[in-house]
Amino acid sequence: MSKPFSGLRKAQVYLLFLLCCWCNAAFSDAIDFEQKKIQIALGAEPPDLNYLRATDQVSFFIIEHVMEGLLAYDEQNHLIPGIAERWEMDEQDARFYLRKNARWSDGEPVTAHDFVFAWQTVVNPRTASRYAFILAPIKNAERIIEGKLKPEQLGVKALDDFTLEVRFERPCAYFLNLTTFATYYPVRKDFYLKNTERYFADVNNMIFNGPYVLDEWTHGASLHLSKNKNFWNADNIQINEINIPYISSDPTVIFNLFRNEEIISTGLDADTIKMALQERMQIKKFNLGAVFYLEFNHREERISSNIHLRKALQQVFSAEELVYKVIGLPGNKPAYSLFPSWLDGEKEKFFKEHPAKKIPVNIQAAQKELALLKKELNLKELPAIVLLTGDSPLASKEAEYLQALFKETLGLEIRIDKQIFKQRLAKMSSGDFDIVLAGWGPDYNDPSTFADLFYSRNENNHGRYHNETYDHWVQIAMNNTDQKIRMHAFSEMQNILIDDVVIIPQFERGVVYVENPGIKNVTRRIFGGDPSFRYAWLEATED
């Protein structure tokens, strides 16, 4: 009876063999040294490449490679000339002199008019750009965004084709940093008007002035970047092609792809680190720039508006234990302040000039605070406290840890409210929480990108923290350009944040990753697109 199957079996084996041969031929490697081509994976499909409106990291990564602003960052993340060759700036206005050889990918020159048009479009409320506020230092910008003035009244003017004049609403110490930001990139009027809503929606709705062009985009599946021959600095771009054949948010998948030598780098998590050590990969780390903290709800009806409760929680929480034991991934740093360690101060790093007070763990003191709270509120038992959190694995882990910690040390009942991203934001804005696990990624290199968060008029101040003194220092930092005065103001704000327990800082987010040794000088960035391949080159290793 086995006869009918033997034929089949032979065929199967033969088929399998053919299959393997054919499969093997269909692969491309992480690096092609001859074609100067690399392969990478993305965590998600870019949600919106229209840089006037883009808000997310994946889109910024692509935009970084296809566009350039007035200024740019070099491989050490210092400011260097971009489309602007040189500039003059004082407290009232700034002038940018554009280089004459800067071209769009169709060969047309990049002019000052392109910047004027772009910025007017961004602040136009009809564009509905979420990053419009980042143009606020420019004269009239805020009132245009609110719909009170016309976009044409924005304080920016093209003196001639290659000279751009900007007038300021108030002095802005970090304006040059802002010009590297995607929302400040130029837009060519004729091309934009042809596409409007479809601008940068697909490869044929795009025009570039940066080092690469996006020439293939299969939605959800793959993207492909080739060197832009019309880029003014094309000679210094070493890598010819960036191929992105994989899109996955699963770190294990990305790691597996790296091990399979199909992509050039991957992030590591607790489990894959062990694998990387076992296979003796060279592990690198990078501080992503974002700070995570417990944000309290300061609305009066909430129990979290009581300072005793906040002080009690502050004194049982140890950022070190959280980072070293619970998160347990190198790269993350315990945080003691809202202002992360990479921020520049006047001469040195801000945290060296103005170290934050470390609050030691002191359970007895915390219990005393709790007793005071009960007395003040005249309660025997405290109501349960709502801890709002996102649905990422890390957030859940943290929330579970905190729940057990507060229960064990203070006997507090914590209710975890785990919500998907949008719902968590909705609850944060409406104030439907006592404590929220929050984080903030910086937009530009100045402490104010963090400090403004707790300004009473800031929409992103979800806990509605209101403190006249704090606001006063925010104003001072906002209206001065003298770094000494500004840094002093930030230091005062830092003290208030700690003494008044506005937040409990948790950690600075960092990553560890591995890279194919054949690629050199990949720039990691806190601002703008990360990582950047602008300055990278390839070098075959011996083995």
Partner 1 sequence: MKIFILKRCLYGLFTVWFIATATFFAMHNVPGNPLNDEKATSAEIRKNLEARYGLDKPLYQQYLIFLTNMAKGDFGISFTQKNRSVNDIIKAHFPVSAALGFLAIFFAGVGGVLFGALAAHYKNRWPDYLLIALVVITISVPSFVFAALFQLALVNLNLYFDIKLLPIAGWGSVQHMLAPSLILGLGTLAYLTRLMRSSLLEIENAPYIKTAKAKGLSESRIFFRHRLRNAVLPLVTVLGPAIAAITTGGFVVESIFAIPGLGKYFVEAVHQLDYTLIMGTTVFYGSYLVLMVLLVDILYGFVDPRIRMS
Partner 2 sequence: MQSADSINTFSSEDFLPLKQVKESVINQNESLDYWQGSWKKLRANPRAMLSLIFIVSLVSFSLFGPLLWRVDPARQDLNQLSQAPSMNKQAIVVDTFISWQPENLFGDQGIKHLSILSPAHTSSVKLRWPINPEADYYEIYRHEYQPSGENDFGLPLAETSKEENFYEDRLNLEPQTYFYTVLARDGEGKLLAYETIETGLEIAVSKKDAEKHLQAGKWKKVSEHEGVLRVELSSHPMGTDYLGRDMMARLMEGGRTSLIIALIASLLFVAVGSLYGALAAYIGGQTDNIMMRFADFVIALPFLLFMILLKVSFGIRPGESGIGVMVFSLVILSWPGAARLIRSQVLVLREQNFILSARINGAGVLHILWKHLFPNVLSLILISLSFAIPSVILTEAFLSFIGLGVVPPTPSWGSMCQEGIKTFLFHPHELVFPSVFIGVTVLAFNLLGDGLRDAFDVKAE
Contacts to partner 1 by CB under 8 A: 1, 3-5, 8, 19-20, 22-24, 26-27, 41, 44-45, 47-50, 53, 55, 125-126, 128-133, 145-147, 197-198, 200-202, 218-222, 245-248, 250, 252-253, 256-257, 259-260, 262, 391, 419-423, 425-427, 429, 458-460
Min dist CB 1 to partner 1, Å, is 6
Min dist CB 274 to partner 2, Å, is 5
Q: Which entry of partner 1, partner 2, none binds 271, CB below 5 to 8 A by partner kind? A: partner 2
Min dist CB 275 to partner 2, Å, is 6
Tokens of 87: 């500039």
Q: CA nearest 528: which of 46, 206, 50, 61?
A: 61
Residue 391 or 539 having the CB closest to partner 2: 391
What region, left, alpha or beta, does residue 373 occupy, with left being phi > 0 and alpha being psi -120 to 50 degrees? alpha
Residue 137 or 340 having the CB closest to partner 2: 340
Residue 150 or 325 having the CB closest to partner 2: 325
Residue 329 or 501 having the CB closest to partner 2: 329
Q: Which entry of partner 1, partner 2, none binds 378, CB below 5 to 8 A by partner kind? A: none
Structural contact between residues 118 and 132, judged by C-beta atoms closer than 8 angstroms? no
| Local structure of residue 326 (DSSP, 8 states) | I
Q: CA nearest 366: which of 377, 355, 374?
A: 374
Residue 16 or 379 having the CB closest to partner 1: 16
Min dist CB 423 to partner 2, Å, is 7
Min dist CB 460 to partner 1, Å, is 5
Residue 35 or 218 having the CB closest to partner 1: 218
Sign of the Cα torsion 356, 362, 368, 369 reads positive
Min dist CB 328 to partner 2, Å, is 4
Q: Which entry of partner 2, partner 1, none binds 40, CB below 5 to 8 A by partner kind? A: none
Q: Which entry of partner 2, partner 1, none binds 259, CB below 5 to 8 A by partner kind? A: partner 1
Buried b vs exposed e over 310-339: b needs ≥16 C-beta within 10 Å?
bbbbbbbbebeebbeebbebebbbbbbbbb
Which burial class, exposed, middle or buried, applies to 342 when counting CB atoms under 10 A from its CB (0-12, 13-18, 19+)? Answer: middle
Residue 124 or 409 having the CB closest to partner 2: 409
Sequence-ordered list of residues with C-beta below 8 angstroms from that of 305, at least 6 positions apart, any chain: 296, 297, 298, 299
Residue 27 or 542 having the CB closest to partner 1: 27
Q: Which entry of partner 1, partner 2, none binds 411, CB below 5 to 8 A by partner kind? A: none
Residue 315 or 419 having the CB closest to partner 1: 419
**Cα 126 from Cα 394, distance rounded (Å):** 37
Q: Which entry of partner 2, partner 1, none binds 321, CB below 5 to 8 A by partner kind? A: partner 2
Tell me which amino acid residue 529 is. Answer: G
Residue 66 or 323 having the CB closest to partner 2: 323
Give residue 171's Cα distance to chain centre: 25
Q: Which entry of partner 2, partner 1, none binds 129, CB below 5 to 8 A by partner kind? A: partner 1
**Cα 267 from Cα 330, distance rounded (Å):** 12
**Cα 335 from Cα 355, distance rounded (Å):** 11
**Cα 333 from Cα 336, distance rounded (Å):** 10
Q: Which entry of partner 1, partner 2, none binds 218, CB below 5 to 8 A by partner kind? A: partner 1
Tokens of 144: 């245009």
Q: CA nearest 358: which of 328, 325, 320, 330?
A: 320
Min dist CB 120 to partner 2, Å, is 40
**Cα 162 from Cα 326, distance rounded (Å):** 54
Q: Which entry of partner 2, partner 1, none binds 301, CB below 5 to 8 A by partner kind? A: none
Q: Which entry of partner 2, partner 1, none binds 170, CB below 5 to 8 A by partner kind? A: none
Neighbours of 373 (CB within 10 A): 19
Q: Which entry of partner 2, partner 1, none binds 275, CB below 5 to 8 A by partner kind? A: partner 2
Compute the chain's Rg from CA coordinates: 26
Q: CA nearest 446: which of 414, 421, 483?
A: 483
Tokens of 157: 């003017």
Residue 206 or 395 having the CB closest to partner 2: 395
Residue 11 or 426 having the CB closest to partner 2: 426
**Cα 59 from Cα 51, distance rounded (Å):** 8
Q: Measuring CA to CA, how many Å separate 480 from each of 168, 267, 411, 471? A: 13, 40, 47, 14
Min dist CB 311 to partner 2, Å, is 21
Q: Which entry of partner 2, partner 1, none binds 174, CB below 5 to 8 A by partner kind? A: none
Task: Enumerate binding residues for partner 2 (CB under 8 A).
Answer: 252, 269-271, 273-275, 277-278, 280, 282-285, 320-321, 323-326, 328-331, 384, 386-388, 391, 393, 396-397, 399-401, 403-404, 407, 415-420, 423, 512, 517
Q: Measuring CA to CA, how many Å separate 174 from each of 115, 143, 339, 420, 449? A: 19, 21, 16, 35, 10
**Cα 245 from Cα 218, distance rounded (Å):** 9
Give residue 531's Cα distance to chain centre: 11
Residue 64 or 443 having the CB closest to partner 1: 443
Min dist CB 393 to partner 2, Å, is 7
Min dist CB 240 to partner 2, Å, is 26
Q: Which entry of partner 2, partner 1, none binds 320, CB below 5 to 8 A by partner kind? A: partner 2
Min dist CB 478 to partner 2, Å, is 32
